[in-house]
Copies of this chain bind each other. A is one copy, B any other.
Amino acid sequence: MLAFKKIEYEERVQKVKRVMEKRGIEVLLITDPSNINYVTGYDAISYYVPQGVILALEIEEPIAIIRFMDRHCAIETTWMSEEHIIAYPDKYLWEPKQLHVMNFIGDVLTEKGLQNKRIGLEYDAYYFNAHWKNKLLEALPNAQFLDATKLVSWVRAEKTKTELEYMQVAARIVEKTMRNAIRKIDVGIRETDVAAGIYHDLIEGTDAFGGEYPALAAIMPTGDRTAGAHFSWTTEGKYQNNQPVYIEISGCYKRYHAPLARTVFIGEPPKQLVETTKIVIESLNIALATIKPGVTCEEVERVWQKEINKYGLEKESRLGYAVGIGYPPSWSEDTAYFRPGDQTVLKQNMTFHMMPGMWLDGYGVAITETLRVTGKGCETITQFPRELFIK
């Protein structure tokens, strides 16, 4: 049931350990579910409770610390030997004033003789809150703690052949889903019915590959709501004439994502929307053509920004972000971004969601692609017509 061959996981661990060595981190506590998945394969819907993976320079295999009822999930989805899966009972949960899971993790580290080490923590991860940090610091008074936020996330940047194959599957799933959704949108159709179809298709997958649940809910505002960036559907609304609709969704396979957004107009689109869409697509194409190994992320954004500025438009928000493994609440790798100041140098097989969404006064337009940096340029992983869809 492993998503990758054991050797691929072992190589990942080696890569992470090399970075740890360089940064003087002897022990790393990974709590971000995407990073946990990357290093161990662990995949279960258990990230709502504290859990962690310990990577120590002096111990070969990672050690997963998991809630007791999830032990079987860890045995089945990770590559490590069973004694490297350590389960804590429920009494360590939800009692901030008593023993906490972080006390349990502290005890495991102490048992392994790692209590005085230089320990890296993911301070800025989704699943490492202020309370957990306090508890861990209390549990290990002699350790030295370092910020290892995104250490693993950065190792994930360049994708292997198999990872790219999974993203291709995710792309086929999202393309099919987008096609059906656009077909279905029409005057009088309930927004929930289109949303239900989207979820159905994302999870049904293709004939060959079933889909998984994406890290983020479907973004699909209509009408005025397209001026807000992160609306889902409404429970009461029906599509009406003379409304824009935009849809941002992602296929997911083996936790790898391929996001895609398109804009639809029901009826005769206003000139301004047609114009904006044209500018967005042209500038997107120019930005895509800029991407190649050696170029920095901020350069890509600068080219895009310059292009839309010509037409009097401006984009305040980032143009895109690294993408791959994801768990709620995000499919972003939260490392490299196409935005001012990001001097990340592009390398082959980095993957991004280029997100030229424009949220303007009263409406929004988004036409996006998931892409891979190739040896000489870039190719989109998602394949879908770049146009304003008229219904």
Residues on A facing B (Cβ under 8 Å) = 1, 44-48, 67-73, 75-76, 89-91, 93-96, 121, 123-134, 147, 149, 190-193, 195-197, 199-205, 209-213, 216-219, 224-225, 227-236, 253-254, 316-318, 327-330, 332, 334, 337, 339-341, 357, 359
Contacts and interface: CB of A to CB of B under 8 A. Distances in A.
Contacts of A149: 96, 131
Contacts of A200: 196-197, 199-200
A45 B232 contact: yes
Contacts of A123: 96, 129-131, 134
A68 B210 contact: no
Of A47, A67, A129, A330, most buried by chain B (CB within 10 Å of CB) is A129
A230 B70 contact: yes
Given A192-B204, A196-B204, A332-B48, A73 B130 contact: no
Contact of A72 (B48, B69, B127, B359): B359
Contact of A235 (B91, B253, B357): B253
A141 to B, nearest CB: 17
Contacts of A334: 94
A147 B135 CA distance: 14
Given A134-B123, A212-B232, A72 B329 contact: no
A328 to B, nearest CB: 4
Nearest to A47: B329
A186 B44 CA distance: 24
Contacts of A341: 95
Contact of A96 (B47, B90, B124, B357): B124
A210 B235 CA distance: 4
A229 B69 contact: yes
Given A195-B203, A216-B48, A210 B233 contact: yes
A130 B132 contact: yes
A190 B339 CA distance: 42
Nearest to A203: B196
Contacts of A216: 45, 48
Contacts of A211: 192, 196, 235
A126 B75 CA distance: 26
A231 B133 CA distance: 28
B126 A128 contact: no
A125 to B, nearest CB: 6
A317 B94 CA distance: 12
13 contacts: A44-B228, A45-B232, A69-B317, A72-B359, A73-B225, A76-B231, A89-B316, A90-B318, A96-B147, A130-B132, A196-B211, A200-B200, A235-B254
Contacts of A328: 217, 328-329
B130 A130 contact: yes
